[in-house]
Structure 1
């Protein structure tokens, strides 16, 4: 399997990942739509908490992908028993991490809502959603990990099939819970949260079946003993790999808190426009995940020249796609936003944000590709340390200056996020070109 993966083209490996990520993006958009049908306050309150949930999910995903990169390197080196041990270790570890996140978030939900500056109905709805959905974190962790492990075997089409079934299940549950069908009481925010958590559980079951019956993965007693040796590499790569996206999500929390300071209309405009802005990064993330799998396999086989070439090919394709899709979304902005609201002020402000996103997306796509390649090679410390440092100094400083000194408000904050992506993409490109990542491999 390893030989087959590293010899595949980036598009053949990535296209199912692109659609799979698109489905993942569609789920919160769908939740926002269901909520907006009953109350804009509910949609805004839940949407404002998405950076918090994103922080949790990014941490889990980073550890999962770090484990997948280690497994890929072993597969590239034809050390399949070590790859099997890594997969078992990461699945168990991710489940424990999901449980720990639930135990942390549930008692803290009131404080989280208050810290985000929410009040009134937006705070009430946000807390209701958080207290229900957090019980699905263990399944979200398993879903993320199983997706990464199936993808590292090159079977990305099975991730697409599994997640397509799941999103259909989620839509069905939303309709049932919100309308009180089959004798159930009508649920509002709690129904949307419950549908989301149950869909994660269903997805985990489907993906586990793929791993067990298609890939024929089995955990052996030797894997438990061997994992004590490999856990050091997982933590070495996983902790920094988690630190950078968690720092990014906390930066989004900071930006959201600044948006809350600007008022309810700004919060609503940002939530709705951010949903559509996600369309532009779908191709970039899909290509980035495919490129990360290929680079890890190639690094394991010590084919650094081909790994370098694959990264630059993915970089050009991802940045171009991000720009073109963001431009199309911006041109259609007012029509898209009218699906959520008929408030002309919200539509006008959200449309302006989508034009700012045209500037942001090429640099965001570059960061996805370059950070993924560095992690795949085991060099996760650089984007974690220098990326976070630049984010909280240059990025935050630019955002605050544009928003509050030049009085550009939400537009200034969005352009500040674009500047952050630009600073970090330049630093990550320099690191990749330096070739220092070749000394960080596991195999």
Structure 2
């Protein structure tokens, strides 16, 4: 009976009820992230450029860790949809075990590797110093971020999106307070600058991981045992990696291509790096709602497919897609209308402002394509159709986004706008492929678990 109630809870819950806490959580995260950038901009534009530069690496690190929650989420939703609750609990335990191992290993590798890579960049020495400081501290303690992501994924898989929202909002609030202490020297504390911001970030992630773990332990349905933490169940590791590695493959490819694209952008100077950082911060307000809908859609699709309701998933995902794209275009329009005011919140530098304004019209096409991808791809993966979106993503990331960035920006001499046009071409191409893939129903014959 308890298993049936769980299945009914997720399958019968309207998407909006699962999605709205995700929307709020992501918007709060963006708001806090924007405040981060705003606070750093008051400290130094070079600090903003440094953190923007290193973000490409820290996101890549998180993508590597995302292998675990990706595999766990798809496995959990399918097991829960099929009513196999005990298998779901075992997957939760194994996911936590794996992310600790992966987090410690990759965190230390990145902590020592990134500063060496930064020596190869043609950037200002102060920007390089700031970037190295942030990268070392953040990477070394990234295991806490990994734990938070896994625990949040577990809660969401059970339909507890509101709980994850509240905890992550608390953690982000702590991060802002820590940033203020680091940058403004409140209560007589020393001004630590970028180093202090990095310390604040990892401290808030640690707090979030602890609170999330406590919350899971308090909920009867999502609670799982952590006895014998060193016992490795190979079949469960294989289950998570079998799904998680290829699903993360698309993100790994995208982030690697972004690193190359950032190298292209650095050839245009510090102003271009800062402009890209500010632009991406603004655009996140557009696509985060689509990402929220995509995450909720993935949860629903996983439960549907686990329960054998593929036809229901087929019809509903089209509705989810139309809603997500419509919202993205609406927000893009609002931001375009108030583009000068938005940019002024981050910088008053005329050169940086001019660069951002020149590419704003292209962002409509960029966000349309992105909204399609962040909704349809997770649904394909939740159904068990993993390799097609990964293969298409890898091809498009490199042969369209990266290659055309070089051709448009360097060969044709279009500069910064050439990079944004190439990124838009990539998103639209992949989005078109994903729509046709979903419509083909090939994914109905795939199995995730």
Tell me what 1:323 maps to: 329
Contact kept, 8 Å, 1:5 with 1:154, in 2: the verdict is: yes
In structure 2, distance between residues paired with 1:382 and 1:393: 16
In structure 1, distance between residues paired with 2:203 and 2:175: 8
Shift in Å, 1:352: 2.3
In structure 2, distance between residues paired with 1:21 and 1:12: 15
Structure 2 counterparts to residues 423-434 of structure 1, below 5 A: 423-434=429-440
In structure 1, distance between residues paired with 2:295 and 2:348: 37
Say yes or no: does 1:253 pair with 2:252.
Answer: no
Contact kept, 8 Å, 1:62 with 1:245, in 2: the verdict is: no
Say yes or no: does 1:385 pair with 2:391.
Answer: yes
2:448 aligned counterpart, secondary structure: coil
Tell me what 1:89 maps to: 94
Q: How much is the aligned-residue C-alpha RMSD, in angstroms?
A: 1.8
Shift in Å, 1:183: 4.6
Gaps of 5+ in 2: 1-5
| Structure 1 counterpart of 2:210, from 200, 205, 213 | 205
Contact kept, 8 Å, 2:385 with 2:447, in 1: the verdict is: yes
Contact kept, 8 Å, 2:179 with 2:196, in 1: the verdict is: yes
Tell me what 1:114 maps to: 119
With over 3 angstroms needed to count, the CA separation of the structure-2 counterparts of 1:346 and 1:84, relative to structure 1, is same
Gaps of 5+ in 1: none
Contact kept, 8 Å, 2:71 with 2:242, in 1: the verdict is: no
Q: Which moved more, 1:225-234 or 1:382-391?
A: 225-234
With over 3 angstroms needed to count, the CA separation of the structure-2 counterparts of 1:103 and 1:12, relative to structure 1, is same
Contact kept, 8 Å, 2:61 with 2:107, in 1: the verdict is: no
Tell me what 1:415 maps to: 421
Contact kept, 8 Å, 1:45 with 1:118, in 2: the verdict is: no
Structure 2 counterparts to residues 304-343 of structure 1, below 5 A: 304-343=310-349
Shift in Å, 1:122: 0.8
Tell me what 1:75 maps to: 80
Shift in Å, 1:21: 1.6
Tell me what 2:50 maps to: 45
Q: Which moved more, 1:413-422 or 1:374-383?
A: 374-383
Tell me what 1:143 maps to: 148
Contact kept, 8 Å, 1:334 with 1:348, in 2: the verdict is: no
TM-score normalised per structure 2? 0.94
2:345 aligned counterpart, secondary structure: coil
- After superposition, what is the alpha-carbon deviation per residue over 1:27-52, rounded to whole angstroms, capped at 9, x for unaligned? 43222222111110111111111111
| Structure 2 counterpart of 1:180, from 182, 185, 196 | 185
With over 3 angstroms needed to count, the CA separation of the structure-2 counterparts of 1:349 and 1:251, relative to structure 1, is same
1:262 aligned counterpart, secondary structure: coil
Q: Which moved more, 1:266-275 or 1:176-185?
A: 176-185
Say yes or no: does 1:16 pair with 2:21.
Answer: yes
Tell me what 2:134 maps to: 129
Q: Which moved more, 1:351-360 or 1:301-310?
A: 351-360
In structure 2, distance between residues paired with 1:62 and 1:225: 20
Tell me what 2:3 maps to: none
Q: Which moved more, 1:402-411 or 1:39-48?
A: 402-411
Shift in Å, 1:221: 5.9
Shift in Å, 1:245: 0.5
In structure 1, distance between residues paired with 2:226 and 2:99: 18
With over 3 angstroms needed to count, the CA separation of the structure-2 counterparts of 1:116 and 1:32, relative to structure 1, is farther
In structure 1, distance between residues paired with 2:122 and 2:249: 25
TM-score normalised per structure 1? 0.95
Contact kept, 8 Å, 1:304 with 1:438, in 2: the verdict is: yes
With over 3 angstroms needed to count, the CA separation of the structure-2 counterparts of 1:225 and 1:50, relative to structure 1, is closer
Tell me what 1:294 maps to: 300
Contact kept, 8 Å, 2:250 with 2:389, in 1: the verdict is: yes
Shift in Å, 1:222: 9.6
Shift in Å, 1:184: 3.1
Say yes or no: does 1:36 pair with 2:41.
Answer: yes
In structure 2, distance between residues paired with 1:179 and 1:140: 25
- After superposition, what is the alpha-carbon deviation per residue over 1:330-362, rounded to whole angstroms, capped at 9, x for unaligned? 221211111222112211211222322111001
Shift in Å, 1:434: 2.2
In structure 2, distance between residues paired with 1:265 and 1:402: 19
With over 3 angstroms needed to count, the CA separation of the structure-2 counterparts of 1:225 and 1:342, relative to structure 1, is closer
What is the number of residues matched between the two proteins? 443
